Amino acid sequence: MLTAEIRSRFLDHFAARGHTVVPSAPLPTPDPTLLFVNAGMVPFKPYLTGEAPAPWPRATSVQKCVRTLDIEEVGRTTRHGSFFQMNGNFSFGDYFKEEAIALAWELSTTPTADGGYGLDPGRIWVTVHHTDEESAALWRRTAGLPEARIVRRGDEDNFWSMGVPGPCGPCSEMFYDRGPAFGAGGGPEADEDRFMEFWNLVFMQYERGEGPGKSGYPLLGELPRRNIDTGMGLERMATLLQNADNLYETDETRPVLDRAAALAGLTYGRDPEADIRLRVVADHVRTALMLLADGTAPANEGRGYVLRRILRRAVRAMRLLGHEDPALPELLPVARDRMAPGHPEVAGEFARISQQAYAEEDAFRSTLKQGTTVLDTAISHIRAEGGRSLPGESAFLLHDTYGFPLDLTLEMAAEQGVEVDREGFTALMTAQRERARADARARKSGSAGATALTGAYRTVLDAHGPTDWRAHDTLSTDSTVQAVLGADGPLPVAGEGGIVTVVLDRTPFYAESGGQESDAGHLTAASAEAEVLDVQRPLPGLVVHRVRVTAGELAPGDTVRAAVDPEWRLGARQAHSGTHVLHAALRQVLGPAALQSGSYNRPGHLRLDFPWRGPLGTATRAAIEQTAARALRGDLPVGVRWMPLTEARELGALALFGETYGERVRVVEIGGAWSRELCGGTHVEHAAQIGVIALTGESSVGAGTRRLEAAVGIEGFGYLARERDLVAQLCEQLQAPSAELPDRVAALLERLKAADRQTAALRERATLARAADLAAGAADVHGISTVTATVTADGEPGTDARALAAATRDRLPARRPGVIAIGTVAGSRATLVLSVNEAARQAGHSASALVKLLLEGKGGGTDGTAQGGGITPDRLTAVLHDLPHALTRD
């Protein structure tokens, strides 16, 4: 049974039993504790924790998930991958243990001809928490399981919580016996390779208090509404139903693995080490495809860094398998074809996906060359010093800066007969992981209610309900202050000059989201004034205002007039609509691959990020700007419609990455289908109200990602006026019409280059002349031709100390040891350059050692040339005078 059918049977089974089918959320999640959705329950977390009421009593989904905490173990174990899909059914205070167990057993054991998975009931084992006799009894009664196949386990295995105070409860896991070929008998306790877990049923019925993550915390009592959260691993079930050895050999992954093996000229199953690398490639290519499809772009931090690391590991693995050519153009289309039946977006967005992936591979291949050069240089130094081991710090630098995994460094070092300090490398990696885990723990605890302010937000929301948000309807409301919050929680009053957070029962202020900055404005009470500095949504349904009290005192219960600055809102609307127009123009000129991956807009300014390889060029930018201008000149109508998410997708509305959408979405159209996007921002009524969109810059913000910036509205007209004035000034200074400016400026630049070349030639001749004089006047110090001189860094010919030292050295007799010391004075600072010829080096003299000796450890370089600084001109004079003595001590 193919994975796509396993998925559809799951959803059909639960839909037929009253569950609402909920589409998978995008992998990037707004949850501040996570980079990506890492479990099927994450999108339902607000409903399971009681932060928000559930829209349905029961639901089902197949959720995309990514886990990368132990990415180095991918391919080494056969049960875990970095990307996986979690089939889940959820009850929000509706059914509980009995129905959850019955539903899971029914789907698992119903014959395939009748819509089930057809698993042999006699080979299913379950585990329950050792205190959960109710579940054990249900398994005996509902499924007919004998006591011998019901295993009792402790908190570590069969009690679930999020690791922080909140809902928790026992869980029950289902395992399938794959037979003696996979390991020893005796149930899950004996061998979890043979007895593969495929379904976990979590019974949320208690509230836990503070304490360690897995056990040792107090249970505070029963939840008012008990919930069900289950997760059936789609890849695990595919492994079972396809009689595959492991999840890498199922229908969605094995074709990528086979193509990688063919490219490398290998046969899977013959070499254990090669098999691990092939599994890494198969897993990582699929994971990268899904992350790119959901809008994650390669970057140097956060989600983008995770994606970059996954892509680079795949490319490195192919290199270690012996494939030197670009691999992703061969592998990514295979992953697309296998994933498209369940995730059609990977096919629809493949132009953009492939462009970003291939650009990242090209960039990394270049980086790989740089890293190889760094490694070769480090090994050369080690050999020169008589060593045979690469320090752990060097291996870690290659890993952390150049993306070299340890196995690649080990392989390349071994080729040159050098070992690697693995213990030192491991210690540095362990320290880095501990820092990352500590950061994750801090983020997790911070977002789970440990801060007083977060708790205060929840208290206000529980007491008063969601904010009546009217930003789309009006610029002012009469509102009541529900709470005034300081850094540590509620305040009875905020006095003049205080900066506090205010919660209102209703508000006209737009809260920052979707790339649009929050509104500015004022709160006016009978005896108080406050300036609104920022507006945010810390919890679903709650809008809060960061304000500065400019007069009087503000307290809970006060009636205020909340008013948005109309000029600010107008500018914000122009900028946000301008972003939509520029996005549509960009796609019209460059094609559908140029899909917005990030944006920011505020009054008068917008920026838009999109995947693209290389600069756009003047002509392309002009075409984009002109396409946008035509939309403004045509005064395209701007319309807003609410509709189900499925209908919006059928219409072709663009769902932008990093945003979270509900079942009903707001679609903003400019000129109908010309621009149609899901958006919650504020907009103009007609395109002409934007005024003007003037591109002000284009830049790179990472490999394969470009950024356009533009001035909008009155600020856009101001930008164009300044550009016009600048051109007029240049025309006046150069005495040329504007059309001739490029040629005039090009001619001036060529004249400057010619003058620079002439100056460089003069400086070189002057340096050579002075070098000849210095060489002729060399002193004999213990059989060494010694030259000392001082130059002033005033830009005059002959003052390049390194060039002068090298030229003087070359004019000394080749067979006689020679040492040249040139000091440079620049104001109150001085530097020293020291050079020795080959004869001096053979006699045991080193420029680097001499500089360190003369400057008391400062400076460094090679045996031939070295440099040091940080001294005064007086000290330089003494150093040059001390050179003859240093030669006897070197």
Binding site, annotated residues for Zn(2+):
576, 580, 679, 683
Contact call for residues 837 and 812 (beta carbons, < 8 A): yes
Intra-chain end-to-end CA distance of the chain, in Å: 78
CA–CA separation, 861 and 848 (whole Å): 5
Question: What is the Cα–Cα distance from 599 to 842, expressed in whole angstroms?
Answer: 62
The H helix count followed by the E strand count for the chain is 25, 33
The SS3 call for residue 716 is helix
Backbone angles phi, psi at 869, to 5 degrees: -150, -155
- Residue in this structure with the two tokens 């504020």, named with its chain if needed: 682
Q: Give, in degrees to the nearest 5, the angle at Cα 383 between 389 and 370.
A: 80
User: Over the range 711-735, which residues count as b (16 or more CB within 10 Å of their CB) and which as e?
Assistant: bbbbbbeebeeeeeeeeeeebeeee
Return the closest-CA partner of residue 680 out of 477, 466, 512: 512
Which one, of 430, 384, 382, lies nearest residue 406 by Cα?
A: 430
| Angstrom distance (rounded) from CA 276 to CA 282 | 10
Residue 694 in contact with residue 688, Cβ under 8 Å?
Answer: no
Burial class (CB in 10 A: 0-12, 13-18, 19+), 701: middle
Neighbours of 40 (CB within 10 A): 29
| All residues at 6 or more sequence positions from 366 whose CB lies less than 8 Å from its CB, including other chains | none
DSSP H helical ranges for 340-466 = 345-348, 350-384, 392-402, 406-415, 422-445, 452-464
Q: What proportions of the chain, in percent to the nearest 5, are helix, strand and coil? A: 45, 25, 30
Cα separation, 628 vs 189, whole angstroms: 65
Tokens representing 246?
Answer: 């492991």
DSSP 91-127: EESS--HHHHHHHHHHHHHS-GGGTS----GGGEEEE
Which residues are within 8 A (CB) of 227 and not within 5 positions of it... i.e. 6 or more apart?
A: 47, 48, 90, 91, 92, 93, 167, 204
DSSP string, 576-600: HHHHHHHHHHHHHHH-TT----EEE
- Give the H/E segment covering residue 288: helix 272-293
SS3 185: coil
What is the Cα–Cα distance from 496 to 300, expressed in whole angstroms? 43
Give the residue ranges of the annotated binding site: 576, 580, 679, 683
C-alpha span between 269 and 245 (Å, rounded) = 11
Which tokens is 51 given? Answer: 């932060």
* Angle, helices 350-384/406-415, rounded to nearest 10 degrees: 50
Main-chain dihedrals φ then ψ at residue 360, nearest 5 degrees: -65, -40
Buried/exposed 466-492: b ≥16 CB within 10 Å, e otherwise: ebebbbeeebbbebebbbbbeeeebbe
Residues 6+ apart with CB under 8 A from 19: 56, 58, 59, 60, 89, 90
Quote the CA–CA distance of 242 and 253 in Å, as a whole number. Answer: 12
d(CA 668, CA 475): 20
Q: Which residue has the tokens 């400026």?
A: 745
